[in-house]
Structure 1
Amino acid sequence: MEQRNIKLVYCIGGTYNSGGMERVLTNKANWLASHGYDITIITTEQRGRKAFFPLHPAIHQIDLGINYQGKQSPLAKAFAYPFKLLKHKRALSSHLLAIKPDIVVSLFDNGSSIIPKIHDGSKKILEVHFSRFKRKQYQRKGFLKLIDTLLSYQDLNTAKSYDHFVVLTEEDKGYWGLKQNISVIPNALNPDFSTNQHHNINKAHKIIAIGRLAYQKNFSELIHLFSRVHQEAPDWTLEIIGNGPDESRLQKLINTLHLQDKVTLTPATPYIQTKYLDASIYAMTSRYEGLPMVLLEAQAYGLPIISYDCKCGPKDIISDEVNGYIIPMKNHELFVQRLLTLMQDQSLRERMSIQSVIASRRYDEELIMNQWITLFEKLLHE
């Protein structure tokens, strides 16, 4: 596809986290920068911290210092939010008017509602990395449930205010209910996660899970599930890779279940490839997702995947009984049964490994990035 010198600005809370959204943005921005696009990433929470994943040297980085996530009580945060939003709009407006971008892309972070109101001449794209039902899946009660309902309604209005809205799956597209200015563009695999690097799936009897140690990922349930199978497969281990607020609680659970020799919590690493190469199964018990990068990467390395059928993403990636297993939410018995089947059947793992590698080719980086370029060109010619 013909290259144009397009100026792009990406808006996100920060690039210092090790999460999937940060990894997707890094991969995308690096690809665009290496193909001659002028890329700026504008953050609100960076506060001098280094990007977790290495960024192309040509990428410009600006932090506005808004600090929406400051260490305040919920009430204090709610009171301060309108003032921070106003500060955010003024600071972002100043930078956009100076940069004069062709397109501004928001990753649906704090302040996403203000971006369409900034009249800098750019087209505005909103991309979402979580399910339409994310807020409802917090399952909070009382006043907090009401707040989540109102914010979910506001999310829809925010999506409508942009020139274009991009979701990760056809499933999620249906949940938003928009009839126009909406596209499905899945996450792309970085070439570093080469299908040529997959290994002997039976080399290590290890299950891995990767993600932020927080409510969404539901790792406590995974630990409980593993506790039910490890005695029948005593040579298998579980490694959970990530950082987050639940670390001490999860370690306490591991100790309580006497799994210290079988379950390991490992800090997040930007060199996650080695973890996939050292595993034989990938397991996911998330409460909600968007399109999990970890599942795309795991299948590129030929790992059979077992995952809850959360909204959204797993059913787009996993073909049940072909390259893994899809388990209905909260069906603990079936999860345990399928996990044991995988652990105890070497030939099954080998067959699913081959199918995982084949399935991963749908997310080739060139293929996905050309979808983005087609969208950029379309918007700029409207």
Structure 2
Amino acid sequence: MKKIKRVVYCIGGTFNSGGMERVLANKANYLAAQGITVAIVTTDQQQRAPYFTLNELISCFDLGINYTASSNQNILQKGLGYLVKQWRHRRKLRRLLKELKADVVISMFDNDANLLWGIQDGSKKILEAHFSRFKRLQYGRRGLWKRIDAWRSEQDLKVAKQYDKFVVLTEEDKEYWGELPNMTVIPNAHSFAPEQPAALANKRVIAVGRYDYQKGFDELIAAWASVKEVFPDWQLHIFGKGELEEAYRKQIKGLDLQDVVRLCPPTEKIAEEYLSSSIFAMTSRYEGLPMAMLEAQACGLPLVAYACKCGPRDIIVDGQNGYLIPEGDQAGMANALIRLMQDEELRKRMGSNARHESVQFSEEGVMKRWMDLLGQLINKQ
């Protein structure tokens, strides 16, 4: 049997502090530690350093396509520019992959997804979906953009069929993609497992993620207005950054929550922040398999989340390690948080259950599934 020797990952960039970037760093570091040659190919790095530490043996290449440079253009300019950039992307990526001679090339479902499968460089191709099947339909855009999102959603399905393997994160999401013979489920692993869980004694709720439409922190902030009426001594700390930061600050001020809601910058010491908190909250409009929730669970925090597509239903057993709240139910979110705040024994019981459940997302178990998949793929006739 052949052993896996060279793996290449393709992603837009590694400079963000998001869950997908953390997942990539974790997996790439694991493979490099096993003696596998790993390379990461980006399109929009722009000489920025990776946010998460990468093994010094990992090679990084940026193709300089810079898709994000078109973000402020109109639809016609974006469309024409995208076609030109895809042509440049395909040409540069084909040349690089022929030099790297990888056994397997993995797309993180970024701008390379449309073209990677067709590049004949001798490698097997894997596509990873880090969001739900209907991600594009959940952007909340209107007019022509809404039609474009619907069209792109259908194209996603056609693209997924072209790969040797298509990996989704949850059993829930697998159902949405239909009966694809190349599809398999491998969840993300949590990034750490502290020796001791959180004490759950601090009067603090933690939330983590980008300040954007997807993460829906406007919902959580609005819900906190009801929480403050019952527990004015509890704090909500939201760790992240993004385009909606100023809007969130205005919302916090408008609801007179400045003394209890804090917007905190991303930190590489996020484990310490989980361990200093007592509850994890998430009001996302859509997910794939939220890394922040996996990390909070590994730290022994009870979880309260909107039951969005996809991820929360694969992690939370309602009433055991946390609460699943109907999407958009701000009152339900506030009530669940209040219930946990007023009952320390309930917090501890749910936190203990959460930590126990986190074992199924251990790095050892998840990466074994990846190693098995890679081995099967390169030995397939």
Q: Tell me which residue corresponds to 2:140.
A: 139
Q: State whether residues 5 and 36 of structure 1, in contact with CA within 8 Å, keep that contact through their aligned partners in structure 2.
A: no
Distance 1:293 1:228, change over 3 A: same
Secondary structure, counterpart of 1:21 in structure 2: helix
Structure 2 residue 330 is matched with structure 1 residue 329? no
CA shift digits 1:288-346 (9 cap, x unpaired): 00000111100110100100000000011111110100011122222221111011111
1:73 partner letter: Q
Alignment partners' CA distance in 1, 2:115 and 2:180? 23
Counterpart position of 2:299 = 301
**What residue number does 1:230 align with?**
228
Task: Find the counterpart in structure 1 of residue 92 from structure 2.
Answer: 91
Partner of 1:27: 26
Q: 1:91-240 alignment to 2 at 5 Å? A: 91-190=92-191, 193-202=192-201, 204-240=202-238
Match of 2:258 among 244, 257, 260: 260
Q: Residue 135 of structure 2: SS of its match in structure 1? A: coil
Quote the Cα distance in structure 1 between the aligned partners of 2:48 and 2:198.
Answer: 35
| Alpha-carbon distance in 2 for matches of 1:213, 1:86 | 32
Cα distance in 1, alignment partners of residues 285 and 15 from structure 2: 24
SS at match of 1:196: coil
The answer (yes or no) to whether the contact 1:195–1:302 under 8 Å persists in 2 is no
Counterpart check, 1:371 vs 2:372: no
Return the alpha-carbon distance in structure 2 between the equivalents of residues 369 and 82 of structure 1: 36
Q: Which runs of 5+ in 2 are unaligned?
A: none
Determine the C-alpha separation between the residues in 2 that align with 1:242 and 1:373: 32
Q: TM-score, normalised by structure 2?
A: 0.97
* Aligned match of 1:7: 6
Per-residue displacement from partner, 1:154-191 (whole Å, max 9, x unpaired)? 0001101111100000110110013311100000123x
Match of 1:243 in 2: 241
1:291 aligned partner: 289
Deviations along 1:238-264, one digit per CA (max 9) or x if unpaired, are 000001000111011111111111100
The AA in structure 1 aligned to 2:300 is G
8 Å CA contact retained: 1:276, 1:298: yes
> How many pairs are equivalent?
378
Percent identity, aligned pairs only, is 49
Deviation at 1:5, TM superposition (A): 4.8
The answer as to 2:73 corresponding to 1:73 is: yes
Specify the SS of the correspondent of 1:217.
coil
Q: Deviations over 1:79-121 (max 9, x none)?
A: 2111100000010001000011000000000121100111001
Match of 1:53 in 2: 52
- Which amino acid is 1:130 matched to? F
Mapped to 2, the partners of 1:233 and 1:58 lie a distance apart of 50
Equivalent position amino acid for 1:88 in 2: H
Question: Residues of 2 paired with 1:15 and 1:197: CA distance?
Answer: 30
The structural deviation recorded for 1:3 is 9.7
* Preserved CA contact (<8 Å) 2:10 2:112: no
* Offset of residue 141 of structure 1: 2.2
- 1: distance between equivalents of 2:143 and 2:259? 41
- Judge conservation of contact 1:8–1:103 (CA < 8 Å) in 2: yes
5+ long unaligned stretches in structure 1? none
Structure 1 runs (4+) deviating above 3 angstroms are 2-5
